[in-house]
Structures are given as C-alpha cells and as structure tokens.
C-alpha cells in the first residue's frame, strides 16, 4: 500500500522553543497524538512530555529511520538526525490541508528545516532567512498533481460583540420633612361633687339654742388635663443600591463573505454548484 502524507518537519535549537510551538499547534486544533517530537536534555514536565505519539526511539539512527518511514527523503532525514545528535529538538507534524498554518506556527518559535527557509503566509512573499521546512512527501507524484494550481479564498464574516459601560440614568435622594397632624387621646379625670342627705333626728331634747347664719363650707376639686409633647424615635429608613442582573436583547445587521464559483466555457467544476457566466456575457454583448 502506498502511503502519502504531507509532513512539516522543523528543527529547534532550544527545547523550550519546541514546547511553545507544540503548545500553539494544539491550541490551533492539531491532534497531539499526531505530533512527533524528539529532543535531548532534561525533561521539564511540560507539554512535550504529554505527547503520546513520539518517534519510536531516540538512539543514534532511529530518528533517521522514522523520518524515512514517514516519506522524508534520505538526505533530509540524515540532516535531521545530525541536528538531533548535536542536542537540537525535532518536531514533525502531518499537515494535510493546513500546511501553511503549521509552517507559520513552527517558524514563529524559531523552527527551521533542512533548507533553512520557509514560506510566508502571503501568496506573493515566499522567502526568509530561517524557517520550518514544509515537505510534501509521497512515493509518487500523484499528490502534487492533485493540488497543482490550487487557489484558496479565505471567507470572513462579521460577528456581534457586546460591550458594556456604566452610565448614570438617574438619582435617588433620601431626606425627611416635618408633617403636622391632629391627634386625640382619652384621659380619665376625677372631680368632686357635693351631695346633700337628709336623715331624721333622734328626737332627744337639746340645750343648744337655735341660731341663725351658720354656714358650712365643703370645697370641691377636679383634675385638669394639660398636654405637652416629646419627640421619640419612631422608625429607621435606610437607602442604598445593589446590582440587579437582567438580560437585554441587542441586534444589528452583520455581513459575511460567501464563495461563488463562476465558470466560462467548457470548465467542469466538482463539489460545488457553479454559475455559468458565459450565457450572461452573451446576453450583455451588443
């Protein structure tokens, strides 16, 4: 069975650089079980030690054998073996369909390939002093033939992003006013009354002569009610503020880019509905 795969192989002078690159590859969605790493020196207990799929061995000669089994040319595999033997780290990543992205990530952290150059992300600039080597290795040339003349269009879209900022919408103040009202209360009071009672005499003779002008006084009293006022603490009113969370719906119009395939003449397009613009051209031709 013929095995084709698109590999990106990079050399790193420092193990820490390789670990940073592998970490970003995983953040970009590369399966860690597909990443192959070989490096010497003490283990840092970092991301590289957690990679399950490594080279089959790291003794002399095994890096070369593994890379050749992956489809790397023997000259390049020998170069990577020598780099490993002098203490450098080797990272190999299958990058089918993501070759440029993987190359850029490895090069960003100092990775370079056997030819010590790498491709930039733009379509027009393609050379630099160092970089990860991107190699499309296959036992036949079928892979290159399949992607010959390939062009890519990156589609973008707008997304809503909500931003919040506090604004003063009002004010509440707490003050007190004096309010007058009429109150009544019932107070029990006592007053004295004079009563007169008549009782029959004893009928016994007396030596006291009859007299005129005798007066007997019986003073009477009653209770008078006076009213005074005293201020007392009736209740307490407090005022403050607390956050209350609620949901508000916001909306806006967003745009997105969509790919449209147009064809003229006898051009077969697979995998997408192509708009035939040759008929439109004929209609607009005077």
Instruction: Look at 83 and 130; give whichever has higher pLDDT.
Output: 83
Residue 222 binned pLDDT confidence (cut-offs 50, 70, 90)? very high
259, part of any domain: no
User: In this predicted structure, what is the pLDDT of residue 261?
Assistant: 83
Q: How many domains does the chain have?
A: 1
Share of the chain above pLDDT 70, in %: 72
Domain residues for the domain of 111 are 5-143
85, part of any domain: yes
262, part of any domain: no
277, part of any domain: no
72-78 mean pLDDT: 85
Closest CA relative to residue 33, chosen from 21, 22, 18: 22
Q: Is the pLDDT of residue 54 over 50?
A: no
CB distance 36 to 82 below 8 Å: no
195, part of any domain: no
198-218 mean pLDDT: 82
CB distance 10 to 112 below 8 Å: yes
User: In this predicted structure, what is the pLDDT of residue 154?
Assistant: 80
3 state SS of 104: helix
216-230 mean pLDDT: 91
Q: Which helix (H) or strand (E) holds 274?
A: strand 274-276
78, part of any domain: yes
DSSP string, 108-155: HTT-B-TTS----SSSS----SS-PEEEEE-SSSHHHHHTTT------
Instruction: Look at 203 and 141; give whichever has higher pLDDT.
Output: 203
| Dist. CA 117–CA 132, nearest whole Å | 7
182, part of any domain: no
Instruction: Look at 1 and 243; give whichever has higher pLDDT.
Output: 243
38, part of any domain: yes
pTM: 0.39
Instruction: Look at 131 and 85; give whichever has higher pLDDT.
Output: 85
């Amino acid at each position: 069975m013929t095995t084709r795969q698109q590999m990106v192989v990079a050399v790193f002078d420092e193990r820490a650089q390789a670990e940073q690159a592998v970490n970003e590859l995983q953040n970009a969605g590369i399966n860690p079980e597909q990443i192959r790493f070989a490096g010497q020196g003490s283990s840092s207990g970092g991301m590289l030690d957690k990679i399950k799929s490594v080279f089959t061995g790291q003794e002399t000669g095994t890096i070369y054998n593994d890379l050749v089994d992956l489809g790397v040319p023997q000259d390049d595999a020998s170069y990577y073996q020598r780099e490993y033997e002098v203490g450098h780290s080797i990272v190999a990543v299958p990058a089918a369909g993501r070759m440029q992205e993987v190359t850029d990530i490895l090069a960003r952290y100092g990775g370079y390939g056997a030819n010590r150059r790498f491709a930039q992300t733009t379509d027009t600039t393609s050379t630099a002093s160092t970089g990860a080597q991107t190699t499309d290795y296959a036992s036949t040339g079928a892979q290159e033939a399949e992607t010959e003349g390939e062009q890519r269009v990156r589609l973008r879209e707008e997304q809503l992003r909500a931003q919040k900022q506090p604004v003063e919408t009002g004010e509440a103040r707490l003050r007190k006013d004096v309010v007058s009202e009429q109150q009544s209360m019932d107070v029990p009071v006592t007053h004295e009354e004079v009563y007169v009672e008549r009782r029959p005499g004893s009928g016994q003779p007396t030596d006291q002569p009859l007299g005129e002008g005798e007066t007997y006084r019986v003073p009477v009293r009653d209770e008078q009610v006076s009213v005074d006022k005293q201020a007392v603490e009736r209740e307490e009113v407090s005022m403050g503020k607390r956050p209350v969370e609620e949901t508000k719906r916001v909306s806006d119009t967003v745009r997105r880019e969509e790919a449209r395939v147009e064809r003229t003449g006898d051009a077969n397009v697979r995998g997408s509905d192509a708009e035939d613009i040759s008929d439109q051209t004929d209609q607009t031709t005077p």
